[in-house]
């Protein structure tokens, strides 16, 4: 079998994910593995895609290999997938799967992103392998990798693959109407967009949002912001937060964007994501490491495209707000009634700003931050800036610290395990659980 490895890591041969590929190459010498370092050499592939075309045409399996960056894949891989789609190759008889390494922070949305794009190209997709960064160094991780490759072989031999979801016709955008400009009061709402003059619907949405918003706003167009490249995963910023690039984007981000009262993201859906340029912006935000530096700031989205059909993208937009402790003021789209959705976004945003409203995190936020908490505590010696931030914001909320509750639970467990005591408890346990609340109400 000819396997085309699409290595999306900007580290090239130094990629941790790639080591799993090299391990499989040794275990399965009957297969031919050819690696395209698309993450590291994306500029070269933009100039000449012919080498990639040749390798892909001669392959039986496309194996996407990459680290998870900011909920999805690295921006360089986003760009390659766009180039692959534009090449319009006949991929209907090809199989594809993926291997990622991460700390399992939203690896599900990263996998779904690649999966959805495979369906777009008519590729037969096989469920991928999501591994921890250190898995391959353990006996279990090695066994998991081996069994995964055996499963891929079985799928291909039996023409088994995931069933593509029902495709929908793209909705014709409903243009937002113009309206009177509202009186502006002081404030700073920054609208981050990658819109060009061809994004007619998105530009109309931005225009209406600005006119309806009774607070001063400004537009930051990513096409005009200097970013010399996507995040390299080099961890140069881990100690002091300083990016290795000399484009000063980290300073621009902190002084021109993160100082705002609120951020609105405005984009047109591209390849089931915000597009490669927006993903470059997202990835370069890693100069802040795992620090939720905009916590408390309300966020919102203006999106042109079929948002209702993009379930994975919906999850990403909600999850990034939850992880960052930001109130999601809304997602306005041009599918059905952009005027109403934009106006509601404005109203919720104003309310959140005036009342400093932030909701408690749901599973997306709590689960994500627990992964970060454990990671930063373990790597505090290297990620010094993150560690300092987590200590200052009491984010090391380990359950082991609650010794009183631990002892109490042992006592409760002992009583429940003793039939004679359990029989005498009756309804006292429920009453005991409600006692603090009754005390609260009594003191009101």
Residue 28 within a domain: yes
Does the pLDDT of residue 182 top 90, yes or no?
yes
Length of the chain, please? 444
* Residue 288 to residue 291: CA distance in whole angstroms: 6
The 10s digit of each residue's pLDDT in 305-355 is 999 999 999 999 999 999 999 999 999 999 999 999 999 999 999 999 999
Is there a single domain that holds both residue 356 and residue 282? yes
Is there a single domain that holds both residue 13 and residue 131? yes
Q: Are 129 and 100 in contact (CB under 8 A)?
A: yes
> Closest by alpha carbon to 172, among 333, 315, 302?
333
Does the pLDDT of residue 279 top 80, yes or no?
yes
Is there a single domain that holds both residue 272 and residue 335? yes
**439 pLDDT tier (thresholds 50, 70, 90):** very high
Is there a single domain that holds both residue 139 and residue 152? yes
Residue 97 dihedral angles phi and psi, to the nearest 5°: -150, -175
Does the pLDDT of residue 56 top 90, yes or no?
yes
Q: What is the mean pLDDT of residues 192-216?
A: 97
What pLDDT score was predicted for residue 401?
83
Name the domain count of the chain: 4
* Residue 327 to residue 339: CA distance in whole angstroms: 21
Is there a single domain that holds both residue 359 and residue 371? no
Residues with Cβ within 8 Å of 96's Cβ and at least 6 positions away in sequence, in order, are 61, 62, 63, 64, 114, 118, 123, 124, 125, 126
Is there a single domain that holds both residue 27 and residue 132? yes
Is there a single domain that holds both residue 222 and residue 301? yes
What pLDDT score was predicted for residue 163?
87
Across 38-62, b (16+ Cβ under 10 Å) vs e yields bbbbbeebeeebeebeebbeebebb
Residues with Cβ within 8 Å of 82's Cβ and at least 6 positions away in sequence, in order, are 270, 271, 276
Of 314, 343, 363, the last residue of a domain is 363
Of 121, 140, 157, the last residue of a domain is 157
Q: For residue 429, what are the domain limits?
A: 402-443
Q: Which two tokens stand for residue 107?
A: 């690896």
User: Which strand (E) or helix (H) includes residue 84?
Assistant: helix 75-87
* Residue 201 to residue 304: CA distance in whole angstroms: 7
Q: Which long-range contacts (CB under 8 A, 24 or more apart) does 114-121 make?
A: 114/64, 114/73, 114/81, 115/162, 116/272, 116/312, 117/81, 117/85, 117/271, 117/272, 118/62, 119/164, 119/165, 119/167, 120/85, 120/271, 120/272, 121/84, 121/85, 121/89, 121/91
User: How far, in whole angstroms, is CA 237 from its chain's centroid?
Assistant: 20
Does the pLDDT of residue 432 top 90, yes or no?
no
**396 pLDDT tier (thresholds 50, 70, 90):** very high
Q: What is the mean pLDDT of residues 416-443?
A: 86
Give the number of other Cβ atoms within 10 Å of residue 95's Cβ.
23
Kindly list the distances between the CA atom of residue 148 and the CA atoms of 70, 104, 141, 163, in Å, as whole numbers in the listed order.
Answer: 25, 18, 10, 19
The 10s digit of each residue's pLDDT in 409-426 is 898 888 888 888 888 887
User: What torsion, rounded to 10 degrees, do the Cα atoms 253, 254, 256, 262 define?
Assistant: 100
Residue 163 within a domain: no
Q: Which neighbouring-strand residues pair with 331?
A: 301
Give the number of other Cβ atoms within 10 Å of residue 160's Cβ.
12
Kindly list the distances between the CA atom of residue 47 and the CA atoms of 36, 44, 50, 291, in Å, as whole numbers in the listed order.
Answer: 15, 5, 9, 36
**434 pLDDT tier (thresholds 50, 70, 90):** confident
User: Which strand (E) or helix (H) includes residue 16?
Assistant: helix 16-27
Is there a single domain that holds both residue 385 and residue 415? no
**240 pLDDT tier (thresholds 50, 70, 90):** confident
Return the SS3 of 411.
Answer: helix
What pLDDT score was predicted for residue 123?
97
Residues with Cβ within 8 Å of 277's Cβ and at least 6 positions away in sequence, in order, are 75, 194, 222, 223
Q: What is the mean pLDDT of residues 90-101?
A: 96
Is there a single domain that holds both residue 203 and residue 236? yes
Is there a single domain that holds both residue 285 and residue 358? yes
Residue 67 dihedral angles phi and psi, to the nearest 5°: -85, 150
Q: What is the mean pLDDT of residues 146-162?
A: 95
Residue 174 within a domain: no
Q: Which two tokens stand for residue 8?
A: 């999306």
């Amino acid at each position: 079998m000819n396997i085309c490895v699409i290595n999306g890591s900007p580290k090239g041969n130094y990629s941790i994910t790639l080591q799993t590929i090299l391990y499989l190459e040794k275990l399965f010498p009957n297969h031919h593995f050819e690696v395209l370092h698309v993450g590291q050499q994306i500029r070269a592939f933009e100039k000449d895609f012919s080498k990639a075309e040749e390798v892909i045409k001669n392959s039986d399996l496309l194996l996407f290999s990459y680290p998870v960056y900011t909920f999805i894949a690295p921006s360089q891989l986003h760009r390659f997938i766009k180039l692959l789609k534009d090449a319009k190759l006949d991929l209907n008889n090809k199989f594809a799967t993926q291997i990622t390494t991460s700390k399992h922070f939203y690896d599900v949305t990263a996998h779904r992103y690649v999966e959805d794009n495979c369906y777009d190209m008519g590729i037969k997709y096989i469920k991928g392998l999501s591994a921890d960064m250190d898995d391959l160094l353990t006996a279990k991780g090695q066994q998991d990798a081996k069994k995964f490759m055996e499963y891929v072989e079985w799928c291909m031999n039996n023409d088994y693959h995931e069933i593509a979801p029902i495709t929908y016709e793209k909705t014709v955008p409903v243009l937002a109407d113009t309206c009177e400009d509202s009186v502006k009061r002081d404030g700073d709402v920054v609208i981050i967009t990658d819109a060009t003059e061809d994004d007619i619907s998105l530009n109309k949405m931005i225009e209406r949002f600005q006119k309806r918003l009774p607070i001063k706003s400004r537009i930051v167009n990513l096409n005009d912001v200097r970013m010399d490249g996507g995040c390299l995963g080099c961890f140069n910023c881990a100690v002091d937060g300083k990016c290795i690039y000399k484009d000063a984007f980290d300073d621009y981000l902190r002084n021109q964007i993160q100082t705002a009262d609120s951020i609105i993201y405005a984009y047109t859906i591209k390849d089931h994501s915000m597009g490669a340029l927006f993903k470059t912006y997202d990835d370069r935000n890693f100069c802040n490491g795992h620090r939720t530096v905009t916590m408390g700031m309300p966020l919102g989205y203006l999106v042109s495209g079929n948002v209702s059909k993009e379930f994975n993208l919906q999850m990403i937009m909600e999850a990034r707000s939850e992880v960052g402790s930001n109130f999601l003021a809304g997602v306005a789209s041009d599918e059905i009634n952009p005027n109403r959705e934009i106006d509601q976004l404005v109203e919720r945003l104003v309310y959140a700003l005036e009342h400093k409203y932030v909701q408690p995190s749901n599973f997306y936020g709590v689960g994500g931050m627990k992964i970060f908490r454990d990671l930063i505590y373990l790597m505090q010696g290297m990620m010094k800036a993150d560690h300092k931030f987590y200590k200052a914001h009491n984010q090391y909320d380990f359950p082991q610290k609650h010794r009183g509750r631990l002892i109490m639970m042992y006592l409760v467990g002992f009583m429940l395990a003793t039939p004679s005591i359990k029989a005498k408890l009756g309804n006292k346990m429920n009453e005991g659980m409600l006692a603090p609340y009754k005390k609260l109400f009594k003191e009101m």
